[in-house]
């Protein structure tokens, strides 16, 4: 197993670790003190890792996970309130959600996958989750919407009416329920999601690279109305929300640990 040096923020704090297990490339978000919330520096580090996965012919399958028993709490709202965004132009949240990767990518989810964390998992081709893990798209509770795959992808992965409930209430979706609905491929005991995801990745990596690429492309281009078209239509609807006073109020209220005061503007 080869371990590459961690990608650092300007202050030298590691935020993303990568490991090579033969043809399997494990990418770990390493900000456990903030539940692996993604700020701008972390997003750029993740984008670099995804680029390495796709650029190298000897790496066939990726696994995305989080350190410290949490997948990701999504957007770092304190950083966002200060003007730092984890959205990379043309690539989406964490450099992943709007990036059509050539390589198969598996999410290994422990603990919480909230907001952008769930959207990163939805951007992966498969999800392995610990039985006590929890997904959640909580943006409506802080005056935002989940525009990086929550609205576009969740109704494709689970029944539409359940997806709408999750999106409108902001209520959590336990991994066991997500598995029953077909969102999660495999459930594992707590602490074993990464090992199962790596095992799956090795099973995939045994197969012909051209076949893997063709299958993934065919699935992702399944209809004329693909993800990119869906994102374009969605963005016209959600742009006013993201630019609203309430969006800023939600982020500031979260950072200040108080209830938001919505004004509907």
> What are the catalytic residues?
119, 139
Are the beta carbons of 131 and 187 closer than 8 angstroms?
A: yes
Report which of 116, 161, 153 is spatially closest to residue 135, judged by C-alpha positions.
Answer: 116
Please, which residues have CB within 8 angstroms of residue 209's CB and are 6 or more apart in sequence?
57, 60
Which tokens in the block code for residue 172?
């959590």
How many residues in total does the chain contain?
265
In the chain, alpha helices (H)? 40-55, 77-81, 116-123, 150-157, 160-169, 175-180, 193-205, 209-220, 227-242, 245-255
**Residue recorded with tokens 């399944």:** 222
Residue 51: partners with Cβ closer than 8 Å, 6 or more residues away: none
């Amino acid at each position: 197993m080869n371990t590459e040096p961690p990608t650092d923020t300007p202050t030298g704090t590691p935020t993303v670790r990568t490991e090579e297990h033969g043809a399997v490339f494990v990418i770990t978000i390493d900000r456990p003190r903030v539940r692996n919330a993604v700020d701008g520096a972390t997003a750029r580090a993740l984008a670099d890792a995804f680029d390495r996965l796709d650029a190298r012919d000897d790496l066939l399958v990726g696994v995305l996970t989080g350190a410290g028993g949490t997948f990701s709490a999504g957007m770092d709202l304190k950083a966002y309130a200060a003007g730092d965004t984890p959205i990379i132009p043309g690539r989406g949240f964490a450099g992943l959600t709007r990036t059509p990767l050539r390589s198969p990518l598996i999410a290994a989810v422990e603990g919480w996958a909230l907001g952008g964390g769930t959207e990163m998992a939805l951007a992966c081709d498969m999800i392995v989750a610990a039985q006590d893990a929890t997904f959640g798209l909580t943006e409506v509770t802080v005056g935002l919407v989940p525009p990086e795959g929550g609205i576009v992808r969740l109704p494709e992965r689970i029944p539409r009416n359940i997806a709408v409930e999750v999106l409108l209430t902001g209520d959590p979706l336990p991994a066991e329920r997500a598995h029953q609905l077909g969102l999660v491929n495999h459930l594992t005991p707590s602490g074993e999601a990464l090992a199962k995801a790596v095992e799956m990745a090795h099973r995939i990596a045994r197969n012909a690279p051209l076949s893997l690429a063709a299958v993934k492309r065919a699935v992702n281009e399944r209809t004329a109305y693909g993800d990119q078209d869906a994102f374009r239509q969605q963005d016209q609807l959600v742009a006013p929300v993201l630019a609203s006073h309430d969006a800023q109020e939600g982020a500031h209220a979260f950072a200040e640990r108080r209830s938001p005061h919505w004004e509907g503007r």
